[in-house]
Amino acid sequence: MKGVLRKIHIAREAARSKKAYDLVVIDLRGLFPFSDFWLICSGTSSVQTQAIAEEIMEKMQEHSFRPLHVEGEDTGEWILLDYGDLIVHIFREAERSFYQLEKLWRKAPLVYSERENVDLLEDIR
């Protein structure tokens, strides 16, 4: 579990450094077969979401984590960075509101949320 927590912390701090907002981490273990955790965040424009994605990939690579797959970077509307046990979703406001991943996966425990002032990352086992 230590490796994925490290990924979450690196990605979260990188996103924050580019002014991503409304960061959320949900625990999908046992609910989603391809990943254990999702980090979801927003940017105000395509330029900002692209900058957030680039920063996350750069910081993750500094720690020898490389994405298995990247989608949406060209348009910046919804960028997906797949790190295996962690998938990062970076949305523009309109797309996040439309797709509502947190609502779609509401059975998944919320382990981090800026909006709801929840931080249970250190409690994950």
* Separation between Cα atoms, residue 47 and residue 24, nearest integer Å: 21
- The reported pLDDT for the residue numbered 122 is 83
Query: How sure is the predictor about 125, in pLDDT bands with cuts at 50, 70 and 90?
Result: confident
Tell me the pLDDT tens digit for each residue of 50-61. 999 999 999 999
Output the CA torsion sign for 48, 49, 51, 52: positive
- Number of Cβ within a 10 Å radius of residue 80: 17
* Separation between Cα atoms, residue 96 and residue 112, nearest integer Å: 17
Q: Which residues pair with 21 in a beta bridge?
A: 42
> Whole-number mean pLDDT of the chain?
95
- The reported pLDDT for the residue numbered 1 is 55
Closest CA to 91 of 76, 103, 106: 76
Average pLDDT over residues 78-105: 96
Q: N- to C-terminal Cα distance for the chain? A: 7
Tell me the pLDDT tens digit for each residue of 64-77. 999 999 999 999 99
Q: Would you say 52 and 62 are in contact if contact means Cβ atoms under 8 Å apart? A: no
Tell me the pLDDT tens digit for each residue of 24-47. 999 999 999 899 999 999 999 999
